[in-house]
Amino acid sequence: MAELLNVEHVRRTFPRGGGEELLVLEDVNLTLREGEIVGLLGRSGSGKSTLLRLIAGLSQPQGRPPILYGFAHPGPGAGRGHGVPELCALSLADGAGECAAGA
């Protein structure tokens, strides 16, 4: 099956007060192929939305950018829209679903 998405060694931190950094994602690896349905599970605050925002191109990758349909997806920038509309990632938390389809 064709590879739709590949992320490797994803790391994401956010600045905290006092010059410290909050490490949210570290060494996350994911490959999605055509026809696959994948759930992303984790407790609130574990980084699900952070990962989806990176995949959707709404957040700047800190390392190697996600590869979507064979092309590096460098994140937000002039002339670039939201990720891939047809790539709908479902993140389920506390029994409530949220759908990040390029959002």
Ligand X SMILES: Nc1ncnc2c1ncn2[C@@H]1O[C@H](COP(=O)(O)OP(=O)(O)O)[C@@H](O)[C@H]1O
Positions in the binding site for ligand X (CB under 6 A):
14, 22, 24, 42, 44-50
Least distance to Mg ion from the beta carbon of 99, Å? 11
Residue number with CB closer to ligand X (28 or 67): 28
List the single partner that 40 binds among ligand X, Mg ion, none, CB under 5 to 8 Å by kind.
none
Shortest CA distance to 102 belongs to which of 89, 61, 41, 91?
A: 89
Contacting residues for 52 by C-beta, under 8 A, at least 6 apart: 40, 89, 91, 100
Sign of CA dihedral 84, 55, 34, 79: positive
Residue number with CB closer to ligand X (50 or 68): 50
Contacting residues for 76 by C-beta, under 8 A, at least 6 apart: 57, 58, 59, 60
Least distance to ligand X from the beta carbon of 48, Å? 3
Residue number with CB closer to ligand X (29 or 44): 44
List the single partner that 46 binds among ligand X, Mg ion, none, CB under 5 to 8 Å by kind.
ligand X
